[in-house]
Amino acid sequence: MNDFATARRAMVAVVGVFAALAVGCSAPAAAPPKTTTTGHAHTHNASDHNHPRGKMLMASDGKIAALLTAHLSSKDGNELDVFVEQKGEPHALSAATLTAEAVIGGGERRSLTFACAPANERPVAEPDGMCSHYVATAPWMRSGDVLRVDASLPVGDSRVAMVWRDFEPKKYAHHED
């Protein structure tokens, strides 16, 4: 065999290798777009659902969270507490009171007025005239009740609806005697 034939065979082999690589190494398929989720992978709608957090039930619009807990006391009377947060930190509102409505079990309705908790129960650095922790007396509330509580929080120039569904005072009581 002459040198020309050997060189030709080598060239055909090299071209074959490159052709095989080209077929097997075509441009990669486009990767699916990256998505980033923070917190929950769903949108928050106040009338949609709640999340438990220890002895509290959280309602959120995705920016502001409001946590509801119960204080059950045969001595001092029953109360409901609301803690307002933003990004996991207390978020003080400019309202001295919040109004809400509780629906007990099948339909009995009760009005609630939440007032600022005493200063010693709120964050030390909370400015005067601002409040992140509210308390409402609820003498009618029983530990075995199941409540739906609807409130509207003044946040900036608007109001944010908060709804706590299937709130069980005994389950979410931070104090019981």
Instruction: List, for residues 93-125, the tens digit of each pLDDT value.
Output: 999 999 999 999 979 999 999 999 999 999 999
Query: For 118-169, how does the pLDDT look when each residue is reduced to its tens digit (9 = 90+)?
Result: 999 999 999 989 999 999 999 999 999 999 999 999 998 999 999 999 999 9
At the topology level, CATH places domain 51-176 in Immunoglobulin-like (2.60.40)
Q: Give 155's strand partners.
A: 158
Q: Looking at per-residue confidence, does 17 or 122 come out higher?
A: 122
**pLDDT value, residue 106:** 78
Is the dihedral angle over the CA atoms 171, 69, 46, 145 positive or is it negative?
positive
Per-domain residue ranges for the chain?
51-176
- Is the CB of residue 138 less than 8 Å from the CB of residue 173? no
**pLDDT value, residue 45:** 57
Give the global pTM.
0.74
